[in-house]
Structure 1
Amino acid sequence: MPNFGLIPRLLRSRPLTKGLRYFYRYTRPQAYRHNETLWPFVKVRRDAGGRLAGCELRGVRGPATTPLEQLARAIDGDAHLILSGPSVAQIDYARCRLGAVMGVNGSIALRRQRPSLCFDYYAMLDAGFVKRRRDLVAEVLAQDLTLFVTPEVYRWIAFLFDSQAVRCRIALFEEVHQRALRPRARPEELEAQLATDPGLVLFDARHPVHAHGFSLDPPRGLFGGGTVAYTSLQLLAWLGAKTVYLHGLDLTAAAGPRFYESAASQLPTALDRQFSGHIEPAFRQAGRLLSARGVKVYNLSPASRLGGDVFEKRHWSCLLSREADPQTIVEVNP
């Protein structure tokens, strides 16, 4: 159950938060605008190296958090990133042999049909999802897993859910170009900061949407690629995955609602608007970088808008036990 104290109840008020957001927006320089959803609710803690170490919330005590650098990088082998594209519904998880599993947003809904499916990791980037799909978020919070969230998502989890009901471990991350409660870096500043930084690989600081890059050291920040799938891919590579299988990376609203939604309950998406200019270029460059580093990435979505030249496409039957059915590995031509 959520915390029904007076201050948390007021801070969940849409008119109040909207008014505070507008006040912040018009009383701060443009470089600070990305912090409008955090002020005045969130205060971040940083370590001596400037890395995000934790959050303090005004009016409510949130669940405990763990700094990213203190997490065990425990993936040794295959990892599976289960996303929300409708093609996930075609996969028979009862027959699949999986290694480490990471989910995002509504992926947890698969457990309603397959209770034996266990998630080791989870990522949430969209505060709107937390507010609109509290039922699914509650299921994630009740699992024994590591949940990666931004300070904004953490704020809403703390305001909407009782911290005593949180079983998962929570780790905070932020994006490189717009750090929490710090000014947004200008392209030339970002280029200078990362010019000799092997942990934060910058592809294009001057991209009109967000800077393109790939983080090999997430405690120091992650790059946004227009979708939580891109965030998660950086985390899995850092956690030690040598092979990553992408489930449900359809990346188009035309494919239909997310596997756990109906047409009537479908939440909006910017995939079609951002795909060509932002999402596809980010994944393409990340694919080249990961390949050069010996990390294999396979796309299990036959209808994915990402071509087979970005990530090799395979049919989900490649995950079947070879002992049970040695002839089931099928490659999908792009």
Structure 2
Amino acid sequence: MNKKALQLLQLKFSNFVLRNIYKIIYKYTHPKAYKHNRKYWPYYDVERNKIGGIDKVYFQKKLITDNTAMPTDNCKKIMLVATGPSIQTFPTQIFKKQDIDYIGVNGSISLDHVQFKYYVIIDFNFTQNRFDLVLKVLQSQCTFFTTPRCLDIILRKINPEEIKCQIKVIETITEEGEVERFLGPRIAINPDKEYFYLENNKGFSLHIQDCIYDYFTVPYVALQIIHSLSYAEIYLAGLDMNNFNQPRFYEESSNKQPTMLNQYLTEIFPAFETASHFLDKQNIKVYNLSLKSAIESFEKLDPKLL
């Protein structure tokens, strides 16, 4: 082992030891409602707005996230590019339209011919196991939405100076209707707030800077982000929600990551139905370009017609 490799190994070991010492200190100096933050303290600082949402995040005193400066858009149309196998059947030209913005999730970045304006990753297993793809997102010029846990994995693996995208940190709502606040307590949300749309016990957040529903699938998070960006027309590509035994379009059988989506369809299908009703009431048109998609909540459109 050369000297440089030995120094890197020693640094990783010392950081590992130090983080574990911090975890022990945090455990005995903070209430139980704060225990989810033991991985973050004392590296991070968080500034919040009046309703409790994240305004800014600092890592080792350096600004990493500024949620107060959300992007604005000129385009009225946007395409959500998910990762179902059907993507492989889509005409390439639909991903190059000048009048459409593009938002990707997880492995969508593998489509080199797509210029993503926005990106969403909330799965910490994906962040850990496919950091090669996460790195492509980080080194692009997109606006990148992610969670505190994914952000921490990223900042353990890459120097913040190497990040080119704009990071926005979102907090997702758990199955129990709670939010684990970044450096704050675990709290129950108030579903009666005016910025939550609820129907059939499923929610859609109108204020993503506070918190956001996920229902076990990142496209649902992306749909709430799209709404917050004020698009009038939405196209869904690769939102198949079937054929779970098949690799995602960017995978091979040899490196296919496991999925649990098939176990959560009883949550996912009603959630998209709630979203479709809300977006329809807002006169926002949504088209599902995956003709064989199991999601039947949105009008289906042959991608060739674009």
Common fold: TM-score over 0.5: yes
Which residue of 2 is the match for residue 85 of structure 1?
A: 84
Bigger strand fraction: 2
Amino acid of the structure 1 residue aligned with 2:304: S
Mapped to 2, the partners of 1:110 and 1:32 lie a distance apart of 39
Is the 8 Å Cα contact of residues 253 and 269 (structure 1) preserved in structure 2? no
Q: Write the deviation string for residues 106-152 of structure 1: whole angstroms up to 9, x where unpaired.
A: 111010xx3xx211000110122122112111111111110011111
Which residue of 1 is the match for residue 305 of structure 2?
A: 318
Please show how residues 1-334 of structure 1 align to structure 2 within 5 Å.
10-11=14-15, 13=16, 20=23, 29=32, 32=34, 34-35=36-37, 38=40, 42-57=44-59, 64-67=64-67, 69-94=68-93, 96=95, 98=97, 99-111=100-112, 114=113, 117-176=114-173, 177-178=178-179, 179-186=181-188, 190=189, 193-195=190-192, 197-203=193-199, 212-254=202-244, 256-276=246-266, 278-307=267-296, 310-319=297-306
Distance 1:63 1:261, change over 3 A: farther
Mapped to 2, the partners of 1:131 and 1:61 lie a distance apart of 24
Number of aligned pairs? 290
Mapped to 2, the partners of 1:257 and 1:202 lie a distance apart of 34
Mapped to 1, the partners of 2:169 and 2:117 lie a distance apart of 16
Mapped to 1, the partners of 2:255 and 2:27 lie a distance apart of 32
RMSD, aligned α-carbons? 3.0
Distance 1:268 1:199, change over 3 A: same
Cα offset for 1:288?
A: 0.5
Mapped to 2, the partners of 1:9 and 1:152 lie a distance apart of 21
Structure 2: gaps spanning 5 or more residues: 1-7
Mapped to 1, the partners of 2:159 and 2:243 lie a distance apart of 34
Greater Cα shift, 91-100 or 240-249 = 91-100
Distance 1:53 1:314, change over 3 A: same
Is the 8 Å Cα contact of residues 51 and 219 (structure 1) preserved in structure 2? yes
Q: Write the deviation string for residues 1-31 of structure 1: whole angstroms up to 9, x where unpaired.
A: xxx59666655x59x76x959x959x964x5
Cα offset for 1:162?
A: 2.1
Mapped to 2, the partners of 1:34 and 1:83 lie a distance apart of 29
Is the 8 Å Cα contact of residues 63 and 166 (structure 1) preserved in structure 2? no
TM-score w.r.t. the length of structure 2 is: 0.83
Mapped to 1, the partners of 2:278 and 2:248 lie a distance apart of 29
Q: Write the deviation string for residues 307-326 of structure 1: whole angstroms up to 9, x where unpaired.
A: 2xx1111121122xxxxxxx
SS in structure 2 of the partner of residue 222 of structure 1? coil
Is the 8 Å Cα contact of residues 216 and 237 (structure 1) preserved in structure 2? yes
Which residue of 2 is the match for residue 329 of structure 1?
A: none
Amino acid of the structure 1 residue aligned with 2:294: R
SS in structure 1 of the partner of residue 134 of structure 2? helix
Cα offset for 1:286?
A: 0.9
TM-score w.r.t. the length of structure 1 is: 0.77
Percent identical pairs in the alignment equals: 30
Amino acid of the structure 2 residue aligned with 1:230: Y
Is the 8 Å Cα contact of residues 244 and 259 (structure 2) preserved in structure 1? no
Cα offset for 1:72?
A: 2.6
